[in-house]
Structure 1
């Protein structure tokens, strides 16, 4: 299926190939130890999901999470990871069996495009084109084909869903109500002793350096991220030709003036000094790898293809303690400190329940929230779920620091508990990634009907997604029952 790609694959040494294959086997979790393993983990439609299949899937999931989170990845933060993996294998078996029953197929073009889009960027994709052996590509193709089949099957079941006006109205009133809350946050990180943080910073300040600003020249051949293969190929061919010219001794500035699609072309491609976080991530990553006067190979960014030449690099400078304090708190955080934070939160809750202290007093004395600690716990009015686009960035930042919201939504674990309260009631201790929370309801505010028309399209989209999700879940639960899916006792 991937003959076109493989024909263009650079021939690599058998040593690299073998190294890559060994890495894949390790990531797949092959059991070379000879240790006896459970014969199967589950049975679906009479078919066994073997322990080897589970181990491969688990190790792949584990490695993907580790790559995503980096050094911050803590497996204990996902205590049901093994159950998630086994559930996904059960679901895969059920959905693929149903897709085959319906005669759903996947074309070669769909697989090719699916494989390409599965990579985070074009540079990573090109690296795999160069070095990944056929065995790896075959597994990748199979996985992508399965994903597309399952997506088509689910789509066929839920895409017919429609909404009535009553359902839209009900969704808006339910999901867009607000509440005035009091809040206490006990953050484990905030219990890390300040003296330990300062001491760690002094001993390891070389680990907290701000990269010096760069001054570069570059040549850009512009092409859109979603360009057709023909357009992308033409841009890549052009930048490759220019790269050969510059490598061969042609003047970089003159080549930039004549060919670059960036406004900097008139200055020979010269850009002002820039620091971390100010440029396209791929461009910046490539630039910071260079030595002064060194030339990059062609780099793909969201703007197109670049050749970068480093003109100057300013010295790295140490970050201030306040800039890295939270990072150091995370480094020094121990399970013992986390247990103490949970114990502290439970103690405060008990004191509140007994009436030994008022909520406002407890918030002033104990809350680690940036706002609640200063306002006797009053964090104002918050949405139940969705954060409106007209909400100021400072307010959203507060909700992130206090409650664990993201840019678009509140933390569902927090708000579902809070919005179940009646006026004057208080939650038990709620745990999320920030720490331990106690919330008191001051009062609910109905959804603002005057705003409905301005966000009607968005409301319809979200409510339709919810209905499709419920339609899918009901359908899948029926399939699971029909498939007589059984998890082996003590499998996990």
Structure 2
């Protein structure tokens, strides 16, 4: 992306900036700098927001279309968009959602990297040329992230995918294709013309067998492709990219399905000549072995009468009792505040990576079998933890079904999002001020 054109794409990418209503006091008089053009539940849409969004939209549309829609239609579209954004921001606040400075900083770093900026000063200078500050950019990003977060949280929670629906999807041609393995393939072709003599065919066969043997002895596939392949991908080291079996000629798919990662096929004869195929990488298919951990814990939550220090002291005492021979399960039933595991003596069952919050995952991953670790803190409180066993489990079927369920949710997301937004607006209190022909609100 050209650095000089950064502001307009950013306007689309991060949403609209909310500029709070402001007043200045000079010589005991109040000067109104902004106007409310819509009251939206507990919030408002300001004239400054509307003007800024309209300028951004016009700038973008004028660069794409020769004829613009009527201004009254455009004004209504912009106002509707701002109202829906305000409603979603209020939902995010109701759920207690926040965007941390760390998230903002990471997103800004991504913006800088994708647009070729090496420093914040360089980004700030470019934004200044477009009439925008870093503070305004951060607010735009914060709004956009909050809206995305509340959409993902609320809408995904509304989407239900049943086991029968997953079964039906996996049995369909779409499902079989979507959940089939992906192969990153390399290809070397030693071509043979259709009019080639038996001697020419024999020479080509000798050459491909020679290359195959060198590859078996450790030669680089990409270098051999560059040096010998007659395929159009030769200068890319024979890289075919990622393919599914259904996207390959049947002659190749039967071979690729039996190749382990890193293996090169024996020469394959086709009408075009002799082929060598390498399975460079593979996603999906085969066993999906996952290390699972069986653990139990005791949780003490902090409160007004149980501060961090007191919680740690209590768990340290319980840990000492267990190390002296007390029964972990019995102490968990008597003391743990994790309702889900308390009655099971703190037993959490078999857990795969990603099931728990990072602090708990890290403690579990670094604890030896039968060892007790802690006290350590997570967002839920203070814990002591004991790992009781570990195993390698084939999760192939679980992975495939989870992938299918996620794909079905993604397919339904946009439709469910529109339904939710419609409900959000229908249930909201709205007081919209009339816009005049210039697009300006009457104000309050």
Tell me which interval the TM-score lies in, with the shorter structure as reference length.
0.3 to 0.5
Point out the structure with the larger strand share. 2
Structure ID, larger Rg: 2
Question: What TM-score do the two structures reach when normalised by structure 1?
Answer: 0.31
Question: What TM-score do the two structures reach when normalised by structure 2?
Answer: 0.33
Of structures 1 and 2, the one scoring higher in RCO (CA 8 A, sep 6+) is 1
Point out the structure with the larger helix share. 1
